[in-house]
Amino acid sequence: MRAGTVLVQAAWVILLFVPEALRTPGFILLVIAELLVPVWAEIASPTPWHAQHISERYGLFTILVLGEAILSTSMAIRTTVDENGMTGSVTSIVLGGLLIVYAMWWLYFYQPTHHFMISLRAAFVWAYGHWFIFGATAAVGAGLAVAIDAASHHAEISTEAAGMAVALPTAIYVLCLWILQEHRRANNMIDSLLNPVAAVLILLTPFTGQPVLFTGILLAVLVALRLIRHLE
């Protein structure tokens, strides 16, 4: 592990001095190397690990990213409200944004996940799968800020494009939760299809005229259905 880490870090420094044309492919190769070093090291010499501790740490990081999403959205809302007041379009985005963020939190945490990491391979799938969870969560925050800017005419972007900036990362988040968690819990076809169907419907919200609000409503419905299925 140490040798691999040192070599990759040295390669990152060397990348600064290579020709410009080689930097992009070099960057991609080094990212892959960074991801492979832990896998190679653990296969060669496994270290003890605690599934519940790993699950907790990734959950805490998810909360941090959700917090950043809320912060970026709040700043955009404050700027808009200070300039234009609380218009109807901004109000719908605020309501939809709250539903989205709260639903994202609940869908991630409503059941424990440490029991999914039954092997080293499963633990790596869980860990690397969170790249998409974190990226989608951050992108939702950025998308909500874009929707606010579009509603206040601070961004020259269509309503559909602004809505897609929220809908696409939200759909990715829902699908990632399905891959990492929900399909493993599914006991029947309904449980298995809830997240994929929700993701497809979310991708249609940019064409409704109120994409953020309808995305939030769809996520709230998904939360309600998951809660009902969980309590049965």
Are 107 and 39 within one domain? no
Are 112 and 13 within one domain? no
pLDDT at 187: 78
| Alpha carbon distance 192, 111 (integer Å) | 16
- Report which of 198, 200, 199, 204 is spatially closest to residue 224, judged by C-alpha positions: 198
| Alpha carbon distance 142, 78 (integer Å) | 15
pLDDT grade for 51, boundaries at 50, 70 and 90: confident
The predicted-structure confidence for 84-101, as pLDDT tens digits, reads as follows 677 777 888 888 988 999
CA angle 173, 166, 77 (to 5 degrees): 125
Question: Is residue 142 scored above 60 in pLDDT?
Answer: yes
Are 167 and 202 within one domain? yes
Q: What is the mean pLDDT of residues 160-188?
A: 89
Are 40 and 80 within one domain? no
Are 13 and 75 within one domain? no
Are 25 and 66 within one domain? no
As a residue count, the chain comes to 232
Are 88 and 61 within one domain? yes
Domain that holds residue 162: 51-231
Whether 207 contacts 160, CB under 8 Å: yes
Are 29 and 97 within one domain? no
Question: Is residue 16 scored above 90 in pLDDT?
Answer: no
pLDDT at 33: 87
The predicted-structure confidence for 57-74, as pLDDT tens digits, reads as follows 888 999 999 988 888 788
What percent of the chain clears pLDDT 90, i.e. is strictly above it? 31
Q: What is the mean pLDDT of residues 192-200?
A: 92
Question: Is residue 172 scored above 90 in pLDDT?
Answer: yes
pLDDT at 1: 57
The predicted-structure confidence for 36-48, as pLDDT tens digits, reads as follows 888 777 777 777 7
Residue 203, number of CB atoms within 10 A of its CB: 17
- Report which of 186, 187, 104, 194 is spatially closest to residue 144, judged by C-alpha positions: 104
| Alpha carbon distance 171, 132 (integer Å) | 11
DSSP 45: S
Q: How many domains does the chain have?
A: 2
pLDDT at 199: 95
| Alpha carbon distance 92, 114 (integer Å) | 37
Whether 140 contacts 166, CB under 8 Å: yes
| Alpha carbon distance 212, 99 (integer Å) | 9
Are 27 and 103 within one domain? no
10 Å CB burial of residue 166 (0-12, 13-18, 19+) is buried
